[in-house]
């Protein structure tokens, strides 16, 4: 039947033809009703403020707690990583040039949006094998608190990490910290959210841009991208790639436009790959342990911001 023929017909007249008006599947009289196939979601990468598919066309399966197929996620390639670095380098000067107060407002806005999607994130976190609902709730709460914490440090770490230096001469000598540039972040397979936030928040708090590789629950990583995309964070400041760390870590560490590397929960082989790759152009590398990131006493300090800052010293004559 042509769609125009439906006009003016009642639901009782339509139902014999279509078992569900929302599903345009014709039914042949005398045969079983057609079965609707559920459309499973494909979680995308987050690069330059957009959500592209991987240029390679590859995907990962996101399993549910029972081992079934929950969704699909894009598997990032080396070209995707290079595109993410280009986006980060382009966005970083504008982010660094924003006022510290404005950066704090944006990070706090991201925390507000994250909190508003609490139920969704907790459901997604429980997809990780062995994660109970209570553990997911605790991880989510800690992640939001971590983001709020570093939103508060954006206009304060300068006072602790900067200084007015005593010099022999009629000069003011002032040292101030500034962002290093583009920082690569490598996350563990689990937990999915807290290590990502724990490494990312201090990096962008200091005015850096970030390229993140995460092999963790891809649904959590991608939905975090949706949060950041609606938080007024400029596109390209954070780029999230879901994929294989063994494939991408070496490329990230060797990339000449990446200024530093930070990672958590790496095995000895991956840690060696990051350190050797970074040595080619003398990148800073910081590898954190589970005890360090899970303990607020060590994870919620300006010393998480400091590794990826550069000290800039100004001399100014006095009396002018």
- Which one is predicted more confidently, 190 or 275? 275
Q: What's the pLDDT score for residue 101?
A: 96
- Which one is predicted more confidently, 183 or 41? 183
Contact 95, 103 (CB under 8 A): yes
Stretch 156-168: mean pLDDT, rounded? Answer: 88
Kindly tell me if the per-residue pLDDT of 193 is higher than 50.
yes
Q: What's the pLDDT score for residue 271?
A: 94
Kindly tell me if the per-residue pLDDT of 128 is higher than 60.
yes
Distance CA 116, CA 118 (A): 6
Q: What's the pLDDT score for residue 173?
A: 85
Which of 23-27, 29-33, 161-165, 253-257 shows the highest mean pLDDT? 253-257
Q: What's the pLDDT score for residue 190?
A: 87
Domains of the chain: 1-37 (no CATH), 45-317 (3.40.605.10)
Stretch 77-100: mean pLDDT, rounded? Answer: 97
Stretch 170-189: mean pLDDT, rounded? Answer: 92
Kindly tell me if the per-residue pLDDT of 209 is higher than 50.
yes
Average pLDDT score over the chain? 89
């Amino acid at each position: 039947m042509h769609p125009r023929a439906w006009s003016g017909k009642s639901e009782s007249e339509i139902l014999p033809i279509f078992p569900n008006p929302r599903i345009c599947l014709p039914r042949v009289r005398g045969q079983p009703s057609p079965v609707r196939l559920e459309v499973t979601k494909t979680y995308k990468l987050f690069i330059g403020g957009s959500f592209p598919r991987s240029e390679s066309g590859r995907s990962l399966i996101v399993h549910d707690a029972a081992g079934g197929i929950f969704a699909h996620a894009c598997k990032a390639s080396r070209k995707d990583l290079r595109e993410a670095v280009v986006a980060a380098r382009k966005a970083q000067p504008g982010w660094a040039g924003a006022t510290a107060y404005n950066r704090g407002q944006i990070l706090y806005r991201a925390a507000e949006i994250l909190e508003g999607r609490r139920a969704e994130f907790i459901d997604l976190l429980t997809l990780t094998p062995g994660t109970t609902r209570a553990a997911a709730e605790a991880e989510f709460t800690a992640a939001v608190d971590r983001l709020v914490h570093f939103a508060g440090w954006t206009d304060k770490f300068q006072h602790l990490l900067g200084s007015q230096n005593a010099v022999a001469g009629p000069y003011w000598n002032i040292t101030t910290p500034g962002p290093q540039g583009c920082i690569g972040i490598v996350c563990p397979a689990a937990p999915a959210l807290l290590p990502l936030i724990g490494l990312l928040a201090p990096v962008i708090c200091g005015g850096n841009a970030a390229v993140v590789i995460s092999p963790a629950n891809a649904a959590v990583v991608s939905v975090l991208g949706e949060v950041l995309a609606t938080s007024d964070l400029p596109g390209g400041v954070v780029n999230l790639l879901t994929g294989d760390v063994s494939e991408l870590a070496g490329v990230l560490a060797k990339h000449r436009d990446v200024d530093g590397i930070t990672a958590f929960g790496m095995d000895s082989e991956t840690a060696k790959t990051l350190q050797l790759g970074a040595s080619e152009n003398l990148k800073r590398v910081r590898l954190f342990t589970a005890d360090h990131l899970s303990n607020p006493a060590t994870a919620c300090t300006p010393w998480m911001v400091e590794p990826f800052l550069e000290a800039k010293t100004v001399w100014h004559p006095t009396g002018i």
